[in-house]
Amino acid sequence: MACAATIQLCTYNRAHLLGRVLAACFEQTAPSDAYEVVLVDDGSRDDTPDVIAAARRQATCAFTVVSQANAGLARARNAGIARSTGRRIIFIDDDVLPTPAFVAEHLRSDARYPDRVVRGAVIDTQSFDRLPTPTWSLANYSGNWFWTSNVSVPLATLRAAGDFTETFREYGWEDIELGMRLRARGVRGTFNRFAVAFHYKPRPTAGNVDGMLRQARAQARTAIQLRALHDHWRVVLATGDDPLRRTFHRAARSFGAVDRLERAIGPRDAERPLSARALAAARSLARETYYAELESARAGTHA
């Protein structure tokens, strides 16, 4: 039976966060028959099935679970969309904790702007146990127009635009790409700073650096996919794929930037906290890794 809203999220090997996220989805001020939760388990290999079983017992609204072999976020999103019945679909991630008024605020915006994309407020937190004040400010600003950490859109509008592009199999840009298509169709957006969700962003340790670099490489490859689909100034700005920045980072690497950053980071001991200097170096190394992979991906595309 159709309802007013669907919270749609996908998960992959995040059992340690998923239980809290689902509990928050069920603890909404909106009436339980006004919304549903649709979860796609994209082939998790951890304790996710046990977490889902516990969530089924705790669910206070309709709760649908789709399980599939690991296929990437875009395909998982589409599997969730196919099972959604809400007039408005609200996307979050499995590391995003919605506040109690989350659904009600998306529906409040829907009542005023029924045809628009509604962007909610995202506040980063290092722990779900020590949450900051749920008040959005410019310090939490994101320029993303369609960011699936907290965004909603009429389900019919989404389906008319063609859902997510499933050739995006790696990390990055699949939501931006869909947003570009929605914009091209003339869909407008609005921002609701009271539709708050907390994004789990723990401070990286030395053991996280290799993962940061893998993510940077994947994001560079999908940036090339995005540019091939939408050769638009917004994409150039978002991806940094312009001659000036490519030249700057190429020069930095040629003058030994990578070696200096590696030394500043130090050993990759799994639990060793990164100092402020080492953390800045790790983020800079990820940026240089991104641009190096961008160059390789561009060369492969034009080969």
Q: What is the pLDDT of residue 301?
A: 61
Last residue of a domain, one of 166, 200, 234: 200
- Model confidence at 303: pLDDT above 50: no
**Residue range 212-234: mean pLDDT, rounded:** 95
Last residue of a domain, one of 200, 227, 258: 200
Task: Give yes or no for a contact between 227 and 156, defined as CB atoms under 8 angstroms apart.
Answer: no
Number of domains in the chain: 2
**Residue range 227-245: mean pLDDT, rounded:** 93
Question: For 81-129, what is each residue's pLDDT tens digit?
Answer: 999 999 999 999 999 999 999 999 999 999 999 999 999 999 999 999 9
Domain match, 189 and 249 both: no
- Model confidence at 302: pLDDT above 50: no
Angle (nearest 5°) at CA 141 between 275 and 75: 90
**Residue range 242-270: mean pLDDT, rounded:** 94
Nearest Cα neighbor of 293 from 144, 139, 171 is 171
Domain match, 179 and 245 both: no
Domain match, 147 and 233 both: no
Domain match, 72 and 188 both: yes
Domain match, 189 and 250 both: no
Average per-residue pLDDT for the chain: 95
The domain in which residue 243 lies consists of 206-302
**Residue range 290-297: mean pLDDT, rounded:** 95
Question: Which CATH number is 32's domain given?
Answer: 3.90.550.10
- Show Cβ contacts of residue 222 under 8 Å, excluding neighbours closer than 6 positions: 168, 170, 171, 172, 173, 174
